[in-house]
Amino acid sequence: MAAQKNMVKISKRLDASNVAEFKTEALSVLEQTPVGIIVNFSNTLFIDSAGLGSLVSILKTAAQSNKKLALVCLSPQVSQIFELTKLYRIFDIYDSLEKAEKIMNG
């Protein structure tokens, strides 16, 4: 996982074995940015329910402080998992980083 300013990039898998690390990093990035956080899935091929749970938790924290959470560059595999769990309904999902950055910058 690599962080830059307002973005966290997830590794190949986000699952119960690395979710704690991701959540800590994402929450710390969220705290430091005024507008919100972008989570980049461009390298990610798998996410389990623990990973999804952490995203729901980050979304709630963001909403409490009126910040945004944008998910970008979902692979077909990750999209399939969001569709299966119907979680695509609650997240702001963008197919490119540029679009998400535009939203973040207002």
Q: Which stretch binds another protein (CB under 8 A): 1-9, 29-37, 78-86, 92-100?
A: 78-86
46 binds another protein (CB under 8 A): yes
Which region among 10-18, 26-34, 35-43, 93-101 touches another protein (by CB under 8 A)?
A: 10-18
Q: How far apart are CA 106 and CA 101, in angstroms?
A: 9
Q: Which is nearer to another protein, 4 or 20 (CB)?
A: 20
Helix axis angle, 49-64 to 19-32, nearest 10°: 20
Pick between residue 25 and residue 48 the one whose CB is nearest to another protein. 48
CA angle centred on 25, ends 19 and 27, rounded to 5°: 100
The phi, psi pair for 59, rounded to 5°, reads -60, -45
Among 28, 65, 85, 96, binds another protein (CB under 8 A): 85
Candidates 21, 28, 56, 96; binder of another protein (CB under 8 A) is 56
* Helices within the chain (DSSP H only): 19-32, 49-64, 76-84, 97-104
CB-nearer residue toward another protein: 1 or 97: 1
